[in-house]
Structure 1
Amino acid sequence: MKKNQLLNSELSYLVATLGHTDEVTVCDAGLPVPETTSRIDLALTHGVPGFIETARTLLAEMQIEGVVLATEFREISPDLHAELLGLLEIEEQKTGKTIRRTYISHEAFKTRTGESRAVVRTGECTPYANVIFQAGVVF
């Protein structure tokens, strides 16, 4: 059995095959997923799994150098947005690397998900709880 935190085989494979600057979207239950983008659907019911626990688990396995967020996330769901920023700060402290934060409109965000290697759908029902992780390198 795998020893590290991430047990989902699709997510584990995705992280293992990422290259520098590849993108992975983690989204709430309502974000539309482009037909051309791989979907890893974790949603079981409202709130399960949650956005933060999914992001935290991915961050434990994935080196990132940037995130893309919708401006609306910061405005409409400030508490969950702040919690995500807290996770990013912890990640910066662990790695000693700065994580770039880019904000775009929600409409632009939805279009941008088409560039992701995969969209990971959670059961989160908080509006605009979405992030695009941009893969970094560990060296």
Structure 2
Amino acid sequence: MKKSTLIHSELSYLVATLGHTDEITICDAGLPIPAQVQRIDLALTHGVPSFLDTVRVMLSEMQIEGVIMAEEFAQVSPEHHQALLAELEQEKALTGKTINIGYISHEQFKQRTKQSRAVVRTGECTPYANVIFQSGVVF
């Protein structure tokens, strides 16, 4: 059995096969997922698993160098937005690497998910609790 935090087989495989600048999306329960993108559906019920719990586990396994969020996230769900920023600050401190943070409109965000290697759907029901992680390198 795997010893590290992430034991979900599809997510573990996804992280192991990411290349530099590949993107994955972690989303709330309501974000539309493009048909051509792999869907990894973790949603069990409202709030389970949460967006932030899923983000934490993914950060424990993958190196990121960039983050894209919808501008609406900070406006509509400021507590969750601030919690995500705190997780990213903690990740920067832990790894010593820069994480570029960018914002686009929610409509642009939905279009951008078409570039993702996969969309990971959580049970989160907080509006705009979505993020695109751009894979970095560990060296």
Instruction: Please report the TM-score for the alignment, with normalisation by the length of structure 1.
Output: 1.00
Q: Which residue of 2 aligns with 1:41?
A: 41
Gaps of 5+ in 2: none
Percentage identity across aligned positions? 70
Tell me, in whole angstroms, the C-alpha distance in 2 between the residues paired with 1:77 and 1:44. Answer: 22
CA distance in 1: counterparts of 2:114 and 2:46, whole angstroms: 25
Q: Following TM superposition, by how much is the alpha carbon of 1:98 offset from its aligned partner in structure 2, in angstroms?
A: 1.1
Letter paired with 1:32: P
Q: What corresponds to 2:133 in structure 1?
A: 133
Displaced runs of 4 or more, over 4 A: none
User: Counterpart in 2 of 1:27?
Assistant: 27
Report deviation, 1:48. 0.1
Give SS of 1:74's match: helix
Measured on the aligned residues, the alpha-carbon RMSD in Å equals 0.3
Give the 5 Å matches for 1:1-139: 1-139=1-139
Deviations, residues 28-55 of structure 1 (Å, cap 9, x unaligned): 0000000000000000000000000000
Tell me, in whole angstroms, the C-alpha distance in 2 between the residues paired with 1:16 and 1:97: 20
Q: TM-score, normalised by structure 2?
A: 1.00
Give the total of aligned pairs. 139
Whole-Å separation in 1 of the counterparts to 2:2 and 2:73 = 34
Q: Summarize deviations over 1:10-68 as a string: whole Å, max 9, x none.
A: 00000000000000000000000000000000000000000000000000000000000
Distance in 2 separating the partners of 1:75 and 1:99:
21
**Distance in 2 separating the partners of 1:138 and 1:98:** 12
